[in-house]
Amino acid sequence: MPLDKPYLDIPGTTIFDAEQSRKGYHLNQFCMSLMKAENRSRFKANERAYLDEWPMTEEQKQAVLARDLNWCIRLGGNIYFLAKIGATDGKSFQQMAGSMTGMTEEEYRDMMIKGGRSPEGNRYVGEDGDAQAQRQPQGRTGRGES
């Protein structure tokens, strides 16, 4: 019997629960491998070949190659593991977070300094707030929807 997950109706939010952990295990292990310099070098030399060494789904590999972190999260990625991809690419966590919201690094920083996004219109999927999928770059493209 599946657990009741009332948090599935929060726009722009994927909770990293046990199900997500199982789904993303190999994706997250790949990310952790990037903590070693020799693995980062191998990955950057031939990303596809390095990814093919991991028993990830094809969709997970495509999400990594596209550097679509929102897609990776929907496929079980944990942001703290995915940050290793950004670091490998020379990106700060702030740059990564900005890309995930469709904002520049500066826009994201300024929003966070001002207290983040308003909860108004963002409490439930289907409202009209700025965190709703239809207002996000990944929501408009439909890429990686699962």
Residue type, 44: K
Say what the pLDDT of residue 10 is: 76
The dihedral formed by the CA atoms of 82, 87, 88 and 91, expressed in degrees to the nearest 10: 110
The tens digit of pLDDT for each residue in 46-90 reads 999 999 999 999 999 999 999 999 999 999 999 999 999 999 999
pTM exceeding the 0.85 threshold for the entire prediction: no
Alpha helices per DSSP H over 24-123: 25-33, 37-45, 47-51, 58-66, 69-74, 79-88, 93-101, 105-113
Closest CA to 2 of 16, 19, 14, 15: 19
The tens digit of pLDDT for each residue in 6-58 reads 777 777 778 899 999 999 999 999 999 999 999 999 999 999 999 999 999 99
